[in-house]
A = this chain, B = another copy of it.
Amino acid sequence: MQGPPIPFTPELRNRRTTSDHIADALRAAINSGQLADGAELNQVEIAGHFGVSRVPVREAMRQLQAEGLIDASAHRRAVVRGIGIDTLTEAYELRALLEGRLAAAAVPNLDRARLDRLAALNRELRESRDHTRYLELNSEFHNTLYEVADRPLAFEFVESLRQRSERYVQMWSRGRGLNRGRQVAREHAAIVRLAKQGDAAGAQRAVEEHIQHTLDAVLALHEDQLPSNGADGDDA
């Protein structure tokens, strides 16, 4: 309460459990496409694959279910929940809405250090040729901006939306190379410029358009590959 805050790193407390690792691994497998849409998740198989018992696998799967990545009903195998073009479109609409507001809320709270960091991230992103690294940098750029918006719920929802659409972006980024990388960097730079000027409304609009463009790019690749709606009740 009064002394020096804390002597040694308290973050050591956040040790991760097996269930968390499994959840991460499954998420990564889904996002990378190793587990395609509609793929069935066999608990014993997964447990065997990771060399653990089914208990942490089940806990991980329940988390993924709550996150909306898989569908599961009682006594039946869970399946990877794919989303169709219309749901993907909705996801980006919501992202534009929410991220725009996050950007607007963040602008007044941006200090010089953070602005520099944003510029640095964008510089590295522009040069990056590895698509995994590229996606990381892109995420970090946006998160760095949104962090200071002080809107935990909106931030959380945006992460959830990104999570659910990431695999389609990965397909895009892998298949199409980084043609759009330059364009993305330009749009990021414009956002940073507006933010530096304190133009919250302008930054909001720029973010909204940026996300709209991303959707266009993803749709351009997918529109003849995805069904008009991915996984709605109808089976087989």
Contacts and interface: CB of A to CB of B under 8 A. Distances in A.
Contact of A17 (B14, B74, B101): B74
A71 to B, nearest CB: 12
Given A59-B62, A66-B63, A153 B74 contact: no
Interface stretch (A26-34, A86-94, A117-125, A209-217): A86-94
Contacts of A98: 94
A154 B94 contact: yes
A203 B179 CA distance: 42
Interface residues of A, number: 38
A15 B75 contact: yes
A154 to B, nearest CB: 6
B152 A16 contact: no
A49 interface: no
A68 interface: yes
A15 B74 contact: yes
- Determine how many copies of this chain the complex contains: 2
B157 A68 contact: no
Interface in A37-83: 55, 58-59, 62-63, 65-68, 73-76
Contact of A153 (B76, B91, B101): B91
B17 A151 contact: no
Contacts of A161: 153
Contacts of A19: 62
13 contacts: A13-B76, A15-B74, A15-B75, A17-B75, A62-B62, A62-B63, A63-B65, A66-B67, A87-B153, A90-B151, A90-B153, A94-B157, A153-B161
Interface of A: 1, 13-17, 19-20, 55, 58-59, 62-63, 65-68, 73-76, 86-87, 90-91, 94, 97-98, 101, 150-154, 156-157, 161, 236
Nearest first, the 4 A-B pairs at minimum CB distance are: A66-B66, A17-B74, A63-B66, A59-B62
